[in-house]
C-alpha cells in the first residue's frame, strides 16, 4: 500500500469503543483451495511456500507483465469489467455532448484508433520541439519548463505542485521536488558495478534511437544522448536517496520567495512561477535544497545546445507511449523489456485503458461507471464494520503497551480517533466538464486532461483543504494512508476476493482485507507517519523516552529485513522498506486481535479441515503471493518501499506468537524467531 496525499466517512471517538459482531455465514465460500498449498513444506519453516507452493509451481507470468499474483489477478478482473464498459460506451456516438459517457467513450475510441495515431507519426511532438528550438538563452529555460510542466508534457528538471503544508495541514503550499531523470533512480547513474554500466550504455542507445525517430540526424543523435546523460548524472548526484526522503523532516524546508532565489539565483523563478499561474508566492517547501542548488548551477553552466538536447529527450520520452508504433515499440523495448524483462507488449486496449484509469477527472469519470457495476452498498457497510473493529483493536493495543508512557498514549489515541475513512469511491466526483475530448485526437485528449489537472492543482493555492479528493481511482487494487489528511482510503477495486468477500468466512476476510486495513492504520504510526499528529501536522508528540523505546523496536525490523536475500547478489533494503514492514507487522497483529474480538462468545469452527486461526493466516499469505521476473525484482529492490511478497509473509509471521500457536511451531523451527530479536511494536 502507499503513502499518498488527499473524507468520505468520518468515524468519531465513540465508534472506536464499539465492536460489531458479524454473524457466522450460513454457507462459507471455499476460500482455501488445497491445490494451492505445498504440504510437503512445514508451515513453521516456510509458510509462504506452504500456503502458496502449489499455486507458485503452476503459475506463469503473462508475457505482457513483469509480475503476477493476487493483486494482478484481481486487477485483471477489474480491468475486464472496465473494458466491457469502455467498449460499450465507445461504440455509441450519440451520447449527450459533455456527458461522462461521451467523454469516456470518445477518449477510449481515440486511443483505439491506431490508424489515425499512425498517420500522425511524430507530428504531435512538433509544437513542443519547436518551442525548445526557439530558445535563445538561459532566460528562456524558465518559460519552456513552465510550459512543459503545466501541460505535463515532459520537460524534466524538477517538479512543482500544490499540496498540504506538512506543518500547517489546514493550508496548501507550493512544493518543489527533485526530478528530471530518465532512469528509475539516482543510483542507476552513480553505481559503478557492471550491471549499472551496461544499463547506462543501453540507455544511451535508447535515447539516441528515440531522437532519430523524432527527426534528428542519426549522426547527431549520439552526441545529443551524451548530453542527456551529462545533465541527468549531475541531477542524480545532487538528488537525495529514497531512504533519506523517507524522513519527512529532511524534506521540509519552508522558504520565502527571496530565499528560493538566493538558493538558485541562476534560474528565473519569477518567470517560471508566473507562467505556471502563481502570481504571488508567499512560501514554498523546497523538499531537497541541495538538488535545487545544483539545478541552479546547471541553469547557468550548461550550454544552450545541452539544454536543448536534454529537453528534447524529455519531451519525446513523455509523449512516446501515445504516438505511432515506432515510438511505442522503442519505449517498450527499453522501459519494459530491458528494465523489467517483459517480453511482450500489452494489447492496445489495455494500454489505452491504463491511460484513462488514472486519478484524473477522466479516471473518476470512468470510475462512476465502474462502481455502478462492481461495488454494492452491502460491501461498503461490511467494510465499515471491519474498519471500526480494527480501530477498536488498535485502541486496546495502544492502551496496553508496556513500553509507551501515558502522555504519548493519549496523543496516539487522539490520532487514532481522528482517522478519516474513505471506502469504495468519492462522495464528490471530480468535475470533467471543462475537459474537451475529441474522437481521433488521442494525444490531444491526454494533453488537455493533464493540463486541466495541473491547473486544478495550482488553483488550490489559497483555498480551503478539499477533504473530498481521492488519490486513487475506484477500480484500483490498492489502498493508502495520507499523513497530512490523517485518513485511510480503500478503493472499491481492492474490496473483492481474495482480499474481501461480503459473503465469506470472517477469518478469511480479516486475514485479507483486515490485514490491509490494519496495514494502513499502522502507517499512521510507522517511522514516518508517527511524526505527524492527529491534525496531520509534522509535529513531535512523543516523549524522548518513548521515541527511543520505539526506535529500539523498529531497529529490529530493519535488521530482520536486511537479512532477507531476495536475489543471489542483493538483499532487501531494511531501511527503504521500514515503513511498509512496520505496517505489515502491525496490521497483521491488529487484524488478528480484531477478528478474535468480533467473535464475541462464538467459536470459529473448522472449515475444510482448517481452524479459524489457520484460515486467517492462510489468506494473509495468499494476498502476497506472486511470481516476478528477475529484472523487475531488481528494479523493485532498488526503488520500491515494499518488500517482496515472500518476505511480507514470512517477516511478520516470524514474530507472531498467535501464528506459532495456530500451526504448532516449536523452538528451532525456521520461522519461530527468538524472542529477544522479535520486533513487537503494537
List the one residue out of 438, 436, 398, 440 whose CA is nearest residue 416: 398
The closest of 516, 431, 510 to 468, measured between CA atoms, is 431
What totals of helices (H) and strands (E) does the chain contain, helices first? 29, 13
Nearest to 263 by CA among 254, 271, 272: 254
Task: Please tell me what DSSP assigns to residue 342.
Answer: -
In angstroms, the CA 449 to CA 126 distance is: 19
Contact 137, 268 (CB under 8 A): no
- Please name which of 489, 338, 478 lies closest in space to residue 420, comparing C-alpha atoms: 489
Distance (Å, whole) CA 411 – CA 71? 35
Distances, alpha carbon 251 to alpha carbons 242, 288, 456, 528, in Å = 11, 6, 24, 12
Reduced to 3 states (helix: H, G, I; strand: E, B; else coil), residue 628 is: strand
Catalytic residue among 505, 520, 546, 560: 520
HSE at residue 620, side-chain half, CA atoms within 13 A, is 33
Q: Indicate the helix (H) or strand (E) that contains 112.
A: helix 100-112
Alpha carbon of residue 121 to chain centroid: 32
Contact criterion met (CB below 8 Å) for 594 and 658? no
247 is catalytic: no
Residues 6+ apart with CB under 8 A from 295: 157, 158, 180, 235, 238, 264, 267
676 is catalytic: no
User: Residue 260 in 3-state DSSP?
Assistant: helix
| Rounded CA separation 545/548 (Å) | 5
- DSSP-derived 3-state class of residue 670: coil
Spot the catalytic one: 469, 527, 580, 584: 584
Query: Long-range contacts for 120-124 (Cβ within 8 Å, ≥24 apart)?
Result: 120/323, 120/324, 120/443, 121/323, 121/324, 122/213, 122/214, 122/215, 122/323, 122/324, 122/327, 124/319, 124/322, 124/323, 124/443, 124/444
Instruction: Report the DSSP pairing between strands 2-3 and 480-482.
Output: parallel
The total number of residues shown for the chain amounts to 682
**All 3 cell numbers of residue 331?**
519505449
- In angstroms, the Cα distances linking 339 to 66, 185, 198, 355, 479 are 10, 12, 11, 21, 26
Angle between helices 194-213 and 325-332 (to 10 degrees): 180
Q: SS3 for 581-618, per residue? A: HHHHHHHHHHHHHHHHHHCCCCCCCCECCECHHHHHHH
SS3 for 554-574 is HHHHHHHHHCCEEECCEECCC
Q: Which residues are designated catalytic?
A: 520, 584
Amino acid at each position: 500500500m502507499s503513502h499518498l496525499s488527499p473524507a468520505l466517512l468520518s468515524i468519531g471517538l465513540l465508534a472506536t469503543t464499539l465492536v460489531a459482531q458479524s454473524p457466522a455465514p450460513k454457507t462459507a465460500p471455499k476460500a482455501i483451495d488445497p491445490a494451492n498449498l505445498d504440504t510437503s513444506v512445514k508451515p513453521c519453516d516456510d509458510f509462504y511456500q506452504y500456503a502458496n507452493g502449489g499455486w507458485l509451481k503452476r503459475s506463469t507470468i503473462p508475457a505482457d507483465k513483469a509480475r503476477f499474483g493476487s493483486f494482478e489477478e484481481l486487477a485483471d478482473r477489474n480491468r475486464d469489467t472496465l473494458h466491457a464498459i469502455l467498449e460499450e460506451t465507445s461504440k455509441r456516438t450519440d451520447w449527450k455532448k459533455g456527458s461522462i459517457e461521451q467523454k469516456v467513450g470518445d477518449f477510449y475510441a481515440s486511443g483505439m484508433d491506431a490508424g489515425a495515431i499512425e498517420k500522425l507519426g511524430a507530428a504531435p511532438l512538433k509544437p513542443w520541439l519547436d518551442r525548445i528550438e526557439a530558445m535563445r538563452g538561459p532566460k528562456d529555460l524558465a518559460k519552456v519548463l513552465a510550459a512543459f510542466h503545466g501541460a505535463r508534457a515532459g520537460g524534466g528538471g524538477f517538479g512543482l505542485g500544490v499540496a498540504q503544508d506538512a506543518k500547517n495541514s489546514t493550508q496548501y503550499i507550493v512544493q518543489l521536488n527533485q526530478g528530471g531523470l530518465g532512469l528509475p533512480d539516482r543510483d542507476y547513474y552513480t553505481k559503478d558495478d557492471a550491471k549499472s554500466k551496461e544499463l547506462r550504455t543501453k540507455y544511451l542507445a535508447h535515447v539516441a534511437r528515440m531522437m532519430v525517430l523524432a527527426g534528428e540526424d542519426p549522426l547527431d543523435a549520439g552526441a545529443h544522448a551524451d548530453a542527456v546523460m551529462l545533465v541527468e548524472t549531475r541531477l542524480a548526484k545532487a538528488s537525495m536517496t529514497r531512504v533519506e526522503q523517507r524522513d519527512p523532516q529532511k524534506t521540509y524546508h519552508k522558504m520565502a520567495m527571496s530565499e528560493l532565489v538566493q538558493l538558485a539565483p541562476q534560474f528565473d523563478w519569477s518567470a517560471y512561477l508566473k507562467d505556471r499561474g502563481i502570481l504571488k508566492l508567499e512560501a514554498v517547501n523546497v523538499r531537497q535544497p541541495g538538488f535545487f542548488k545544483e539545478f541552479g548551477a546547471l541553469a547557468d553552466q550548461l550550454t544552450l545546445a545541452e539544454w536543448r538536447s536534454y529537453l528534447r529527450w524529455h519531451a519525446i520520452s513523455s509523449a512516446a507511449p501515445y504516438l505511432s508504433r515506432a515510438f511505442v515499440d522503442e519505449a517498450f523495448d527499453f522501459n519494459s523489456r530491458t528494465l523489467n524483462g517483459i517480453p511482450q507488449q500489452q494489447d492496445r486496449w489495455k494500454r489505452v485503458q491504463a491511460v484513462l484509469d488514472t486519478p484524473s477527472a477522466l479516471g473518476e469519470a470512468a470510475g462512476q461507471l465502474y462502481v455502478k457495476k462492481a461495488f454494492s452498498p452491502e460491501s461498503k457497510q461490511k467494510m465499515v464494520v471491519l474498519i471500526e473493529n480494527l480501530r477498536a483493536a488498535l485502541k486496546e493495543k495502544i492502551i496496553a503497551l508496556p513500553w509507551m508512557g501515558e502522555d504519548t498514549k493519549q496523543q496516539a489515541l487522539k490520532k487514532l480517533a481522528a482517522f478519516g475513512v474513505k471506502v469504495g469511491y468519492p462522495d464528490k466526483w471530480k468535475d470533467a466538464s471543462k475537459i474537451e475530448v475529441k474522437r481521433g485526437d488521442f494525444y490531444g485528449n491526454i494533453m488537455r486532461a493533464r493540463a486541466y489537472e495541473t491547473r486544478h492543482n495550482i488553483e488550490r493555492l489559497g483555498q480551503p483543504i478539499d477533504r473530498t479528493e481521492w488519490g486513487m481511482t475506484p477500480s484500483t487494487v490498492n489502498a493508502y494512508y495520507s499523513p497530512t489528511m490523517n485518513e485511510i482510503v480503500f478503493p472499491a477495486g481492492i474490496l473483492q476476493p481474495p482480499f474481501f468477500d461480503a459473503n465469506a468466512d470472517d477469518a478469511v476476510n480479516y486475514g485479507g482485507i483486515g490485514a490491509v486495513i490494519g496495514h494502513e492504520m499502522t502507517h499512521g504510526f510507522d517511522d514516518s507517519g508517527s511524526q505527524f499528529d492527529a491534525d496531520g501536522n509534522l509535529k513531535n508528540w512523543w516523549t524522548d523516552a518513548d521515541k527511543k523505546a520505539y526506535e529500539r523496536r523498529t531497529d529490529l525490523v530493519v535488521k530482520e529485513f536486511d537479512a532477507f536475500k531476495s536475489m543471489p547478489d542483493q538483499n532487501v533494503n531494511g531501511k527503504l522498506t521500514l515503513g511498509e514492514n512496520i505496517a505489515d507487522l502491525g496490521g497483521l497483529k491488529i487484524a488478528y486481535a480484531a477478528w478474535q474480538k468480533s467473535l464475541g462468545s462464538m467459536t470459529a469452527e473448522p472449515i475444510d479441515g482448517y481452524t479459524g486461526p489457520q484460515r486467517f493466516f492462510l489468506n494473509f499469505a495468499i494476498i502476497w503471493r506472486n511470481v516476478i521476473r528477475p529484472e523487475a525484482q531488481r528494479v523493485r529492490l532498488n526503488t520500491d518501499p515494499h518488500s517482496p511478497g515472500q518476505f511480507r509473509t514470512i517477516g511478520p509471521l516470524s514474530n507472531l506468537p498467535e501464528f506459532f500457536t495456530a500451526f504448532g511451531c516449536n523452538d528451532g523451527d525456521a520461522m519461530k524467531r527468538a524472542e529477544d530479536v522479535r520486533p513487537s511494536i503494537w
